[in-house]
Amino acid sequence: MYTEPKKEVALLSIISHDFDQYKKFSHIHFVGIGGVSMSSLALILKHQGKCVTGSDSGNGPTILKLKEAGIPVYPEHTTENAVGCDLLVYTAAISDNNPELVYARENNIPMMERAVLLGYMMAEFKKSIAVSGTHGKTTVTSLLSSIFKAADADPTVMVGANLKAIGGNYCIGKSEYAIYEACEYVNSFHHFYPNCGIILNIDEDHLDFFKDLDAIQKSFARFTDNFDEDGFLVINGDDENCRCVRDYYKGTTLTFGIGANNDCYAENITINSGYASFDIHFKDVSARVDLKILGKHNILNALAAACAAFAYGLTAKDIKAGLEAFTGADRRFELKGTCNGAWVIDDYAHHPTEIRATLESAKQAAEGVVYVVFQPHTFTRTFYLMDEFAEALSIADRTILTDIYAAREINKVGVNILNLRDRIENARYISKFEDIAATLKQELKKGDIAILMGAGNVNQIAGLLTE
């Protein structure tokens, strides 16, 4: 079923899936410890009594939090950092010639990619829930966290953004439940062994790694091979791209969607200023829910979380309470302040489908003009989805583009931000964040919404703009 991707980006782990061997490691060193997932894993292992060290060239709140927890973080990547460890953990973004990786290979120190370690750690929970999909993983993981906390189920949670409800991007629970994100990039989620796997949607993305949509669909199908024998799949019944996974997986499957042909579905939907209210139905149970997060697309996110929660026996009362208690995660339509009476919103959307959903929500909520400041994320995504980006961004009343955020890439496809600007009517290109802030300060009026959009550092404009 599985098709080889266009390019193998991730380094291969030299450890097989030996769970007993994993538990024996006592000193674990993280290369690139400052990442959202890496820092969470490090802090959890530190909490479990492991000796944890790391290296990272960054310098921000996450590094400070690691140091406050007693984890040494080295600012440069050198051979000496890895001396003494019995396991080295790295991310797919770390180059093969990194001196710490080279030292580990030369000295036969076991190495493990981040996703493999996460798979080991989450496999220790009898009821682990892996949330996958091209869009919405962080929101649904957050919604599940809110629901299980409302039910006093005390889950362990790992999520890709900071949540006020758990005081960060992870929490350590005492129950058999674990909730975490499962990303498809470089087939990371093939290392996970959940009891419940959720697939929110399947769309074209990460085309620097996957050959095409068919390869992505097959990768999601391969994800289901590692589910527990008594596990189950929760999948979007309204997403045609998910159909091949439904046909492939032979275990118990539950579907969610707007249509009543799904196991968990919505009815009597109303939208008020961008906020959705609706009835959730699951078998013979139902609940009326008033979401506190903007956007019609969040109906599906809420249904996905509710479907898994119902399957584990949580009550409609707890599910309603959890869904309504959630007011959003960092960088997910997050209100950062105002400028001239206009809302300044930070949003992580970096794929055309996400952009469309966010801008449609903003249009419903705005009393005035909707501005979007978009920073494309990676050259390949911008190149392959150029027309889709242009169409989605055209939903805004005013579009400002800034330079492409390279992230892990170099520009091998020769794409230029002006290629995108020329496809959007009246779009403007402004390179410097200071100039973007100055422009918005001149133009924004009360009732307008300005969305700083992208997965890079475009959110820095908020500090230059808000009052």
What domain range includes position 362? 334-465
Residue 146 belongs to some domain of the structure: yes
List b or e across 94-105, with b for residues whose CB sees 16 or more CB atoms inside 10 angstroms.
beeebbbbebbe
30 shares a domain with 80: yes
Residue 444 belongs to some domain of the structure: yes
Angle (deg, nearest 10), helices 137-150 and 316-325:
130
Query: Which helix (H) or strand (E) is 390 found in, with range?
Result: helix 386-393
Confidence class for position 8, pLDDT limits 50, 70, 90: very low
138 shares a domain with 155: yes
Confidence class for position 208, pLDDT limits 50, 70, 90: confident
What CATH number does the domain containing 389 carry? 3.90.190.20
End-to-end CA gap in the chain: 54
266 shares a domain with 152: yes
184 shares a domain with 98: no
The token duo for 259 is 């249509």
Q: Of 294, 325, 356, which residue sits at a domain end?
A: 325
Report how far residue 429's alpha carbon sits from residue 435's, in angstroms, rounded to the nearest whole number. Answer: 11
130 shares a domain with 55: no
351 shares a domain with 312: no
Task: Return the sign of the alpha-carbon dihedral for residues 12, 17, 20, 23.
Answer: positive
What CATH number does the domain containing 289 carry? 3.40.1190.10
Number of domains in the chain: 3
The token duo for 367 is 């009393």
Strands (E) in 375-415, as ranges, are: 398-401
Residue 8 belongs to some domain of the structure: no
DSSP class of residue 190 equals: G
Question: Does residue 402 surpass a pLDDT of 70?
Answer: yes
> Which of 74-78, 162-166, 281-285, 450-454 shows the lowest per-residue confidence on average (mean pLDDT)?
162-166
Output 62 or 302, whichever has higher pLDDT.
302
63 shares a domain with 165: no
Indicate the pTM of the whole model: 0.84
What CATH number does the domain containing 25 carry? 3.40.50.720
182 shares a domain with 106: no
Evaluate whether 158 touches 146 at the Cβ level (below 8 Å). Answer: no
- DSSP letters spanning 295-358: -THHHHHHHHHHHHHHHTT--HHHHHHHHHH----TTSSEEEEEETTEEEEEE---SHHHHHHH
Average pLDDT over residues 240-248: 96
- Digit-coded pLDDT (tens) for 345-391: 999 999 999 999 899 989 988 899 999 999 999 999 999 999 999 99
* pLDDT score for 22: 74
321 shares a domain with 181: yes
* pLDDT score for 17: 53
342 shares a domain with 247: no
* pLDDT score for 80: 96
What is the average pLDDT score of the chain?
91
Going by C-beta distance under 8 Å and a sequence separation of 6 or more, which residues neighbour residue 330? 161, 162, 163, 346
407 shares a domain with 356: yes
